């Protein structure tokens, strides 16, 4: 209990405000200390019975706040269930702290219950990992050697999760072995600020990480600062000055996932076309290119590109990938929070860029903007014929009424679905796209709008979508901040993460709308090469995977408000009505 208090108390002092916990016996000391920290108002606690859901919930919090959330779980398969979230955090550059309880060293490898090799489980993805010593002493004053070591571990871990000394933020794994008895009284110094404890112990809380190891003589367990693995985590020396982009080459700015507003700023300063994925957070501004896929494939535009400056992680179009692998195109990738980009093997990675002085190539930009205007699509329903509706001529009025009824009754398709959600979302809201067919439809059709967009495109998996969005909602709606978090995903992505719909009744309900386009299976495969070679029977059996799930029953079971909509007018109405909690909105779609 003293060790758990020292570690978690130090993390709170460093700025941790969210802890996501899955219950278990071996982790009970960590859990009980967390409950006390919540009682004192020091942290927000989110309890999830499924560790995979817990991991992605913490990932969502980290995505929104750019500060790590802590995940706590017990030993065995519980720890393994955190791997998907850890991988996404690594590839997307999201800070995350994983605390896995474990059996002591003498119980490992001897057939003990619920025991496996947990250290190394996340090694290729971690910025730091450590198998900590088994707590051996109590610490009545909170100033003993054990507590000092754990506070140093907390400082090292927090810094590593934020990317200190590495190229990107990411996951940190602390494996915490405990011997029985596993619980006891809370330390009486819990909640005392680290500065006060350090004053008692005459230790500087801002001191550099310890160089030497701290070894437990009984267990042989070892803690040593550092331990980042992989090229993405090697120490770097950032350039003192930004790389200056000359104006000569015909240039496009490509904004992938998590590029953010910097991509729009760069395109504006350079006078270059902006190719922004819908998940980039940069799809706005006067240089935004509509219908970019077709224009990149056009020999007169995409075929003349000499240089591409990339921010974020582009994943949604083959046309962008083809450009970034073209040996005749100079590719410059601005380092972001995620994995470094190098599709052509010779991409230049830059820490920062600036634009050289000089005249904008107006002919180049103008050609793209003219083609962009021609490619833009207005998906909004037609405005009512006010004159016709008010006409005294029966035929004119009847025609206007029939046109209005037809618009109201028009069935929804994928384009109308994503357009309705896009139009209903504003800067104080949050929008999350699942890795379903709908995000590609949105990327192909939607116009510009400056709204915060999230998506797990580090590995582009469908797992954890609802849990991640829940974490985003919990973090973005702290206090009295307004806004709704909307999630657009397919039916299989929802079913894959259905456990995330379970939220304890004692916790605050996030304002969240999950909009599921239900086409009865994985129709994304209908547009891939496999559909040209597989038999219809094989396609349905192993790829489309049809289902007959009744989503209204899932909503009822998990305590969500449920709405089924089939027309654009009905969808617009439910999206713009006040949201007080959790809503599941089902939109039936044809295959």
Write out the chain's pLDDT in tens, 591 residues: 999 999 999 999 999 999 999 999 999 999 999 999 999 999 999 999 999 999 999 999 999 999 999 999 999 999 999 999 999 999 999 999 999 999 999 989 899 999 999 999 999 999 999 999 999 999 988 899 999 999 999 999 999 999 998 779 999 999 999 999 998 999 988 866 555 544 433 434 444 433 333 333 333 333 433 333 233 333 334 445 899 999 999 999 999 999 999 999 999 999 999 999 999 999 999 999 999 999 999 999 999 999 999 999 999 999 999 999 999 999 999 998 888 899 999 999 999 999 999 999 999 999 999 999 999 988 877 778 888 888 888 888 888 888 878 777 888 999 999 999 999 999 999 999 999 999 999 999 999 999 999 999 999 999 999 999 999 999 999 988 999 999 999 999 999 999 999 999 999 999 999 999 999 999 889 888 888 999 999 999 999 999 999 999 999 999 999 999 999 999 999 999 999 899 999 999 998
Please tell me the pTM assigned to this model: 0.90
User: How far is 244 from 358, CA to CA, in rounded Å?
Assistant: 12
pLDDT at 402: 82
Tell the CATH topology of 414-588. Rossmann fold (3.40.50)
In 10 A of CB 475, how many CB atoms? 25
User: How far is 498 from 550, CA to CA, in rounded Å?
Assistant: 13
pLDDT at 527: 84
Supply 34's token pair: 């967390």
User: How far is 378 from 382, CA to CA, in rounded Å?
Assistant: 10
What number of CA atoms fall less than 13 Å from residue 116's CA on the CB side?
12
Q: How many residues does the chain have?
A: 591
pLDDT at 191: 65
pLDDT at 240: 58
pLDDT at 192: 63
- Exposure b/e, 133-165, CB count within 10 A at least 16 = b: bbbeeebeebbbebbbbbbbbbbbbbbbbbbeb
Superfamily of domain 243-375: TPP-binding domain (3.40.50.1220)
Q: Measure Cα distances from 369 to 217, 301, 441 in Å.
A: 69, 11, 21
- Quick one: which of 516, 449, 509 has its CA closest to 484? 509
Say how many Å lie between the first and final Cα of the chain, rounded.
55
Chain-centroid distance, C-alpha 495: 19
Instruction: Map residue 144 onto helix, strand or coil.
Output: coil
pLDDT at 385: 83
Parallel, antiparallel or unpaired: strands 222-223 and 214-215: antiparallel
What number of CA atoms fall less than 13 Å from residue 151's CA on the CB side?
28
Write down the domain spans for the chain.
Answer: 2-203+223-233, 243-375, 414-588
Neighbouring-strand partners of residue 101: 176
Neighbouring-strand partners of residue 205: none
User: How far is 311 from 341, CA to CA, in rounded Å?
Assistant: 9
Q: Are 79 and 494 in contact (CB under 8 A)?
A: no
User: How far is 337 from 339, CA to CA, in rounded Å?
Assistant: 7
2-203+223-233 carries CATH number 3.40.190.10: no
- Quick one: which of 541, 507, 511 has its CA closest to 525? 541
One fold for 2-203+223-233 and 414-588: yes
Q: Are 253 and 274 in contact (CB under 8 A)?
A: yes
pLDDT at 204: 45
Supply 465's token pair: 């979508």
Supply 182's token pair: 């596993």
Peptide bond into 554 cis (omega under 30): no
């Amino acid at each position: 209990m003293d060790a758990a208090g020292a570690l978690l108390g130090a993390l709170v002092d460093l700025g941790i405000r969210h802890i996501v916990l899955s219950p278990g016996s071996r982790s009970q000391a960590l859990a009980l200390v967390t409950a006390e920290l919540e009682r004192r108002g020091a942290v927000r606690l989110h309890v999830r019975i499924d560790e995979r859901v817990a991991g992605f919930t913490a990932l969502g919090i980290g995505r929104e706040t750019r500060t790590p959330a802590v995940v706590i779980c017990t030993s065995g398969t519980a720890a393994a269930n955190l791997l998907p979230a850890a991988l996404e955090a690594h590839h997307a550059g999201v800070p995350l702290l994983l605390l896995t309880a474990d059996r002591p060293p003498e119980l490992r490898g001897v057939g003990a219950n619920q025991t496996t090799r947990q250290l190394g489980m996340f090694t290729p993805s971690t910025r730091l990992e450590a198998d900590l010593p088994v707590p051996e002493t109590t610490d009545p004053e909170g100033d003993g050697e054990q507590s000092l070591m754990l506070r140093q571990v907390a400082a090292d871990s927090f810094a590593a999760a934020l990317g200190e000394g590495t190229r990107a933020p990411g996951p940190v794994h602390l494996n915490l072995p405990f011997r029985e008895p596993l619980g006891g009284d809370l330390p009486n110094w819990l909640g005392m600020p680290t500065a006060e404890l350090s004053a008692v112990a005459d230790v500087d809380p801002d001191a550099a990480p310890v160089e030497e190891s701290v070894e437990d003589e009984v267990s042989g367990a070892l803690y040593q600062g550092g331990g980042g693995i992989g090229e993405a985590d090697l120490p770097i020396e950032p350039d003192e000055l930004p790389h200056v982009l000359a104006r000569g080459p015909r240039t496009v700015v490509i904004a992938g996932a998590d590029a953010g507003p910097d991509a729009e700023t760069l395109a504006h300063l350079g006078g270059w076309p902006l190719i922004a994925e819908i998940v980039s957070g940069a799809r706005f501004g006067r240089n935004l290119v509509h219908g970019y896929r077709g224009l990149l494939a056009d020999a007169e535009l995409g075929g003349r590109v000499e240089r591409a400056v990339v921010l974020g992680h582009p994943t949604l179009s083959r046309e962008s990938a083809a450009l970034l692998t073209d040996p005749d195109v100079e590719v410059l990738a601005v380092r972001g929070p995620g994995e470094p980009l190098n599709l052509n093997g010779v991409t230049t990675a830059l820490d920062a860029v600036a634009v050289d002085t000089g005249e904008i190539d107006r002919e180049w930009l103008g050609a793209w903007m003219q083609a962009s205007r021609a490619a833009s699509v207005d998906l909004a329903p037609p405005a009512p014929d006010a004159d016709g509706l008010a006409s005294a001529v029966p035929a004119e009025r009847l025609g206007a009424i029939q046109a209005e009824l037809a618009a109201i009754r028009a069935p929804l398709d994928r384009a109308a679905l994503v357009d309705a959600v896009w139009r209903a979302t504003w800067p104080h809201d949050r929008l999350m796209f699942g890795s379903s067919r709908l995000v590609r439809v949105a990327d192909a059709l939607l116009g510009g709008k400056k709204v915060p967009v999230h998506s797990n495109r580090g590995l582009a998996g469908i797992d954890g979508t609802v849990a991640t969005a829940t974490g985003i909602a919990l973090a973005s709606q702290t206090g009295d901040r307004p806004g709704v978090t909307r999630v657009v995903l397919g039916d299989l992505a929802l079913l894959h993460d259905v456990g995330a719909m379970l939220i304890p009744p004692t916790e605050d309900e996030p304002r969240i709308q999950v909009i599921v386009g239900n086409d009865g299976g994985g129709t994304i495969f209908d547009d891939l090469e496999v559909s040209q070679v597989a038999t219809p029977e094989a396609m349905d059996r192993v790829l489309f995977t049809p289902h007959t799930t009744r989503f209204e029953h899932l909503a009822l079971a998990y305590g969500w408000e449920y709405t089924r909509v089939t027309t654009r007018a009905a969808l617009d109405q439910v999206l713009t009505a006040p949201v007080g909690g959790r809503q599941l909105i089902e939109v039936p779609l044809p295959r």
